[in-house]
């Protein structure tokens, strides 16, 4: 059976597009950003020992564990990290604004270093920039900062929710404004992907704290019975098909060829050599998931300029993938075409000699997204229809629920997000203006 591709959400970010393997150890619960399987290509964060760099200063706020009840255990505290840049701030006397990034499911430094828009507009608005880390990620770990304890079971992970995170942000922002004697300074929240969802929901839940929100690629309607589970993969398909019909057909027809080859005598070795897979491990399902990841993430980050958010990639990477597939030099060799396309995502720098499918690094600390994808972030995006570049597949909530129960001992609440934040009813925001 096929293994779900390990992708986000992403934010998600953020959900599943292949069939779920019944082996719980193989289950991936949602789209999440992860580095490639090339150790040399991991994104390096700034040195953390100094607590500062040119982009921001690192600060900590003493945060409460549970904002929503008065059980004595709720009053436990943890150190909540945030990053701040006051280079352009006009100060409290001018009531200059505060721009706050609502942190995603990972190390906040990673997101701060890839959020150029806020730095671009800060001088114009004379804004203070603040990037707040999401609880249970990066350095913002409850239970004494000990991940072994914080991640140990559902009793501790139960404090990892979107509502707790939003309350964290509100508490921190209010305290920060007080300490800066800037209680009247307007706050605008920003976010992308899951962080964008949080920014939208923050404006809904805490309108007295933030006058507005700017959310990018925020799938706030990507929940049960609102958005089609086929929409996500349909968009990815259209991205590639709009570049080249041949590119689309090659990818679409490759899965059966890979599976048939894997069943043949010597087939796995042929696949390993064709895709430059390291000698320690080769598996058809994992190889297909590896390729699906490349296609999905490239579509998700199809920027018009070179980028290094997930991996080093050129401008318009989908176009570059299709150029590799359409290259006449590869003739009719489907695997050579796919290898050329995958290399755009996994090895654009050209430094890798082989790809290690058994290596699953997490340099940005994203692992606990699987908990969120098993509790409240139930986003049905795994559907693939007959026209999809991915193998035909139906979204199956029951399999997700069974896997989550087996893995974490919890039952998902697929309707909680739309109950808490809305979604079925259209919500209109009033416009806001910031005067520079």
pLDDT, averaged across the chain: 86
Distance between the two ends of the chain, CA-based, in angstroms?
57
CB distance 213 to 188 below 8 Å: yes
**pLDDT at residue 434, as a whole number:** 67
Nearest to 336 by CA among 394, 399, 402, 271: 271
**pLDDT class of 22 with cuts at 50, 70, 90:** very low
Q: Is residue 9 part of a domain?
A: no
**pLDDT class of 428 with cuts at 50, 70, 90:** low
For residues 213 and 242, state if they share a domain: no
For residues 185 and 96, state if they share a domain: yes
**pLDDT at residue 80, as a whole number:** 98
Q: Is residue 1 part of a domain?
A: no
**pLDDT class of 4 with cuts at 50, 70, 90:** very low
CB distance 35 to 21 below 8 Å: no
More confident residue, 24 or 423: 423
C-alpha distances in Å from residue 205, one per residue of 171, 209, 434: 13, 9, 21
Token readout for 324 is 């590799």
- The label of the residue with tokens 């040119």 reads 54
Of the given ranges (12-16, 262-266, 371-375), which has the lowest mean pLDDT? 12-16
For residues 63 and 204, state if they share a domain: yes
User: Would the pLDDT of 113 be above 70?
Assistant: yes
For residues 148 and 283, state if they share a domain: no
For residues 162 and 261, state if they share a domain: no
pLDDT tens digits for range 312-337: 999 999 999 999 999 999 999 999 99
Of the given ranges (43-52, 346-355, 360-369), which has the lowest mean pLDDT? 43-52
Taking the C-alpha atoms of residue 150 and residue 139, their distance in angstroms, rounded to an integer, is 12
Taking the C-alpha atoms of residue 89 and residue 87, their distance in angstroms, rounded to an integer, is 6
For residues 260 and 195, state if they share a domain: no
Give the DSSP letter of residue 64: E
Mean pLDDT, rounded, for 405-415: 95
For residues 258 and 167, state if they share a domain: no
User: Would the pLDDT of 429 be above 60?
Assistant: no
Which of the residue ranges 76-80, 225-229, 382-386 has the most confident prediction, judged by mean pLDDT? 76-80
Provide the 3-class DSSP secondary structure of residue 192.
strand
Nearest to 389 by CA among 322, 340, 331: 322
Mean pLDDT, rounded, for 125-148: 97
CB distance 201 to 169 below 8 Å: no
Give percent above pLDDT 90 in the chain: 77
pLDDT tens digits for range 33-75: 333 333 322 333 333 434 446 899 999 999 999 999 999 999 9
Mean pLDDT, rounded, for 388-414: 94
DSSP states of 86-149 as a string? -TT---GGGT--EEEEE--SS-HHHHHTT-HHHHHHHHHHT-EEEEEPPTTBTTB-TTTT-HHH
Question: Rg (Cα) of the chain, in Å, rounded?
Answer: 22
Q: Which residues are within 8 A (CB) of 126 and not within 5 positions of it... i.e. 6 or more apart?
A: 88, 89, 90, 94, 96, 97, 436
SS3 letters across 262-280 = HHCCCHHHHHHHHCCECCC
- Torsion angle of C-alpha atoms 346, 352, 353, 354, degrees rounded to 10: -40
Strands (E), 178-320: 187-192, 212-216
Q: Is residue 270 part of a domain?
A: yes
For residues 216 and 238, state if they share a domain: no
Q: Where are the alpha helices (DSSP H) in 90-161?
A: 108-112, 116-125, 147-150, 154-157
Q: In the listed set 323, 347, 371, which residue is the last one of a domain according to the structure?
A: 347
Mean pLDDT, rounded, for 184-189: 98
Q: What is the CATH number of the domain that holds 335?
A: 1.20.120.980
- 374, containing H or E segment: helix 369-375
**Alpha carbon 326 to chain centroid, angstroms:** 30
For residues 69 and 175, state if they share a domain: yes
For residues 216 and 317, state if they share a domain: no
Instruction: Look at the chain and report how many structural domains it folds into.
Output: 2
């Amino acid at each position: 059976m096929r293994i779900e591709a390990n992708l986000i959400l992403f934010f998600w970010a953020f959900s599943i597009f292949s069939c779920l393997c019944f082996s719980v150890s193989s289950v991936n619960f949602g789209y999440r950003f992860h580095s490639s399987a090339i150790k040399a290509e991991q994104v390096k964060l700034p040195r953390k020992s100094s607590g500062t760099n040119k982009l921001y200063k690192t600060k900590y706020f003493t945060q409460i564990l549970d904002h929503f009840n008065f059980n004595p255990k709720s009053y436990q505290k943890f150190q909540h990290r945030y990053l701040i840049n006051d280079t352009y701030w006009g100060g409290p006397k001018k009531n200059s604004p505060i721009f706050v990034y609502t942190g995603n499911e990972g190390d906040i430094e990673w997101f701060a270093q890839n959020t150029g828009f806020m730095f671009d507009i800060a001088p114009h608005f004379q804004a203070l920039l603040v990037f707040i880390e999401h609880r249970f990620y990066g350095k913002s770990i409850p239970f004494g900062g000990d991940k072994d304890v914080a991640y140990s079971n559902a009793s501790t992970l139960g404090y990892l929710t979107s509502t707790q995170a939003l309350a964290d942000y509100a508490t921190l922002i209010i305290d920060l404004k007080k300490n800066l004697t800037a209680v009247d300074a307007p706050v605008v929240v920003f976010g992308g992907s899951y962080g964008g969802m949080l920014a939208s929901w923050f404006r809904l839940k805490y309108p007295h704290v933030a006058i507005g929100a700017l959310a990018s690629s925020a799938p706030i309607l990507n929940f049960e019975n609102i958005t089609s589970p086929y929409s996500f993969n349909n968009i990815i398909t259209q991205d590639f098909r709009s570049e080249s019909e041949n590119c689309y057909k090659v990818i679409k027809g490759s899965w059966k060829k890979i599976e048939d080859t894997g069943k043949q005598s010597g087939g796995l070795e042929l696949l390993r050599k064709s895709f430059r897979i390291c000698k320690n491990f080769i598996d058809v399902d994992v190889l297909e998931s590896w390729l699906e990841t490349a296609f999905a993430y490239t579509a998700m980050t199809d920027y018009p300029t070179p980028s290094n958010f997930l991996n080093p990639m050129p401008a318009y990477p989908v176009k570059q993938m299709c150029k590799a597939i359409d290259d006449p030099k590869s003739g009719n060799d489907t695997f050579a075409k796919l290898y050329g396309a995958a290399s755009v995502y996994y090895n654009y720098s050209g430094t890798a000699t082989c790809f290690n499918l058994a290596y699953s690094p997490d340099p940005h600390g994203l692992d606990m997204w699987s908990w969120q994808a098993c509790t409240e972030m139930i986003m049905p995006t795994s559907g693939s229809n007959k026209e999809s570049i991915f193998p035909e597949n139906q979204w199956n909530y029951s399999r997700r629920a069974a896997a989550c129960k087996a893995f974490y001992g919890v039952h998902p609440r697929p309707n909680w997000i739309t109950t808490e934040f809305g979604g079925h009813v259209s919500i209109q925001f009033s416009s806001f203006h910031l005067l520079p």
